[in-house]
Structure 1
């Protein structure tokens, strides 16, 4: 069972200097060499959390698709190719990574969960689920479960890492079985999914489940 502790992640400045990002996980595959030379990110997919404290333009990532979710703050006004989209908390929004995009902050600073995937290679999805203390939420292979709000613990289930991941940030690993004591999660900590002893999350609050699916012909 792997846990990526948000507190251990180092903030990295945006390419355009407009904010900072903490990378939770990414995958660098066949696209890495071409991406690095073109300057649009040396990864096939990436999951990160960004702090947005001022209005301005976003970096362009041609050839990718983005799913952006406001996870802290009230409202983000996102303009994509000249069309403005009001984004409320916990409502994922999909848009082309290469589009001209910028944001305004009518209600103050916000924090975004940002998922990017290279078109034709991977498809990314973000869903927001409410946790329960009675029914555990499983996190399967190819998924990350990110605690957005509340209190929760994670335990290995009956049935590990994110199979396609080559970078998982600062992750805790444990080999305990089903009888291992549950591990407490902090805000924005991420649980790496697995189909072997699938991690199960119990608690009260909201969880973001990010799924990264390979594109097959």
Structure 2
């Protein structure tokens, strides 16, 4: 990590945004471009509280990835595919935002990491982090966000020195031009997700 360090987003400062279809509330973590809570974004990262069975909002031309961060599990019925059961131990699930999706809770509310990118501008990857890693960011990454929905996570400083700590619900936004190697250490059995955004092939100016 560079000497400048990432931008730290504390849980208490993150806004709650109603779902597009009015069926729930999302805690918005980061988006580009910054601004109001409109649908005009290149990428957006949030944690959604899913409290009841029902359909997801439709997002045409958006690629989505969902990962359960807490709760007893979630079944997703995605048009054209077999139902998928997600839990906190499951790999993140990617699907097109315009495809109809119906969610069914296994046993009570679920909190889910929700990553959305506009398909013609940005692609994304979601990496679960459960053990200490030194993660290099590829040169085509234009933004990277570390999300710590539960537990505490340390991000090492330059040359392994003292860096910063993230508490439950906090996040860190990295500048890939300065921070190409990220040292990430989940503490006390916690876990985190590293979300990276990169340009599609043939779109050198996206992001």
TM-score of the superposed pair, with normalisation by structure 1: 0.76
Is the Cα–Cα contact under 8 Å of residues 151 and 185 in structure 1 kept in the other structure? yes
Separation of aligned partners in 2, 1:137 and 1:73: 29
Query: How many residue pairs get matched?
Result: 185
Q: Which residue of 2 aligns with 1:126?
A: 126
Q: Which residue of 2 aligns with 1:202?
A: 185
Is the Cα–Cα contact under 8 Å of residues 124 and 210 in structure 1 kept in the other structure? yes
Q: Which residue of 1 aligns with 2:205?
A: none
Q: CA RMSD in A?
A: 2.4
Instruction: After TM superposition, give the deviation of residue 139 of structure 1 in Å.
Output: 7.2
Separation of aligned partners in 1, 2:171 and 2:30: 9
Instruction: After TM superposition, give the deviation of residue 138 of structure 1 in Å.
Output: 4.6
1:112 alignment partner, SS class: strand
Instruction: After TM superposition, give the deviation of residue 98 of structure 1 in Å.
Output: 0.4
Unmatched 5+ stretches in structure 1 = 159-177
Q: Which digits, 9 at most, give the CA deviation of each residue in 1:69-111, with x for residues without a partner?
A: 1111121111111642211224200111001112010221000
Instruction: After TM superposition, give the deviation of residue 156 of structure 1 in Å.
Output: 3.2
Matched, 1:185 2:166: yes
Separation of aligned partners in 2, 1:71 and 1:6: 15
Is the Cα–Cα contact under 8 Å of residues 153 and 192 in structure 2 kept in the other structure? no
Is the Cα–Cα contact under 8 Å of residues 122 and 199 in structure 2 kept in the other structure? yes
Instruction: After TM superposition, give the deviation of residue 202 of structure 1 in Å.
Output: 2.8
Q: Which runs of 4+ in 1 moved over 6 A?
A: none
1:142 alignment partner, SS class: strand
TM-score of the superposed pair, with normalisation by structure 2: 0.79
Instruction: After TM superposition, give the deviation of residue 200 of structure 1 in Å.
Output: 3.3
Q: Which residue of 1 aligns with 2:9?
A: 4
